Amino acid sequence: MTIEIKVPPLPESVSDATLVAWHKAVGEGVARDENLVDLETDKVVLEVPAPMAGTISKIVVEDGATVVAGDLLAILDEGEVAAAAAPAPEKTVEKKSAPAAKEAKGPVKTSPAVRRLLDEHDLDATMVTGSGKDGRITKADVMAFLKSDSSSDVAPGDSAPAVGVEVVTEGLAREEKRVPMTRLRARIAERLVDAQQTAAMLTTFNEVDLTEVMALRKRYRDDFEKAHGVRLGFMSFFAKASVEALKKFPAVNASVEGSDIIYHNYFDIGIAVSSDRGLMVPVIRDVDQMSFADFEGALNDMAGKAQDGTISMDDLTGGTFTITNGGIFGSMMSTPILNQPQSAILGMHSIQQRPMVVDGEIVARPMMYLAVTYDHRIIDGKEAVQFLVSIKDQLEDPSRLLLQV
C-alpha cells in the first residue's frame, strides 16, 4: 500500500512554507513517526513525520521549494522497515565511525539548524557531545567537534588549518558570500519596518535599583529551587511587576485595530528569546494568575522549545505586552521596537554597580536602565512614564508585588 506524504495544515495566517531539508532519501526505510522533512514558515519549523513504517519510493518536492497546505511531498510504500533498505546510490556516503564511548547513547535531541549542519559535514549526532540543556547539541558543539576531528588527522609536525578557513599562501583572500534570508529573518525584517512605518513610537527611560531584588533572590534562591525544581530568575520579578503596572494603565496592555482600541482584561506576556534561527517571542499566558515558580517553569519550557525548533505558532501569537532583555548580551541601553499590534514593550538592560546618593551618602548600587517604547497614538507620555515608575517602585520594594500595591 502506498501512502501520500502531504504538507500538513499550516498555522492560521501562514499561506505557504519553504521545504528546508529532507532527512530521508528515495529507497530509504523509515519508522512510524520518524521525521521525514522540515518545513519552515515565517515563525516556526514544522516537522512532517511518517504516518506509517515503510520505504520512501518517490520524492516529489526538492529542498528549497515553496509549498502550501495539501501539496504532495513524497510517496511512502507501507511495510516493515527492512534491514536491507538503504539509501539510493546517489545518496550513499560512507559514514565516519563514532567513538566506542558514544555507542551506548540513546536518541540525541537536535534542532533543525543543527541537523542541517550535521548533514553538511556527514556526521552522526552520536559522534558529538552536547553541551546544551539535557545534553542537546548546539552549533558550537558541532564546530568544536569538526575542529578537533580535523586536528586529529594531521600528521605530527604538521599544522592543522582552521575549519572552514581558506589557506592562502600569497596575499590576502577577499571573499563575499551571498545567501538568501531565511523566512524567519525576512519576516522579522518585515515586521520591524512595518512597526516603524505604522506606529507613532516613542521611548521613555528610567533606572531601577535592584538591591532588594538581588538580596531576596540570594536569600531564597536555594530554598526556591529545592521546593519548585526551577531557578528563581530576574525575569519573573519583571513580568510580575509589569502585570501590576498594566492593571493600573490599561492602555499599555491594549492594541490598535484600524481606528479601534482593543483593551484586554488578560495579561499574556511575550518574552523575547534568542535562538539559532533568530529572535522569537513566545507568549506566556495569564501571567497574573501565575506564581513566580509557575512563570519560571513556563519560561524555561518556552526557551527550550525555541532552541530545539519545536515551538509552535500558537506559542508565538496573541501576546498583549512584550519584555526583551538586551542585558544578557551586554546592552547598556536601547530603544526596543514594538511587537505589533501591541502598544508597548519593556526593555531590560545590563545590571551595573554605579555610585548613587542614598540618604545623603554616595554608595555603590546594582542599577539597571529600563526603557518602555510605546505607541503614542493611544498612550500619552504621562501614562508611559507613570507605568515605568510603577515597575521601578515594585522592583525597588518587592514586597509591593506580594501586596499588589
**Alpha-carbon gap, residue 401 to 396, rounded angstroms:** 10
**Alpha-carbon gap, residue 250 to 253, rounded angstroms:** 5
**Cβ neighbours around 88 below 10 Å, total:** 12
Q: Write down the catalytic residue from 288, 376, 393, 397.
A: 376
The end-to-end CA distance of the chain, in Å, is: 66
Task: Tell me the β-bridge partners of 4.
Answer: 75
In the annotation, is 380 catalytic? yes
**Alpha-carbon gap, residue 91 to 106, rounded angstroms:** 25
**With contact defined as beta carbons under 8 Å apart, do 210 and 351 qualify?**
yes
**Residues whose CB is less than 8 angstroms from the CB of residue 280 and which lie 6 or more positions away in sequence, other chains included:** 43, 184, 272, 273, 274, 306, 311, 316
**With contact defined as beta carbons under 8 Å apart, do 40 and 21 qualify?**
no
Q: Read out DSSP for 225-276?
A: HHHHSS---HHHHHHHHHHHHHHH-GGGG-EEETTEEE--SS--EEE-EEET
**With contact defined as beta carbons under 8 Å apart, do 10 and 278 qualify?**
no
- Cell numbers 519593556 label which residue? 346
Q: Write down the catalytic residue from 33, 222, 314, 380.
A: 380
Residues taking part in catalysis: 376, 380
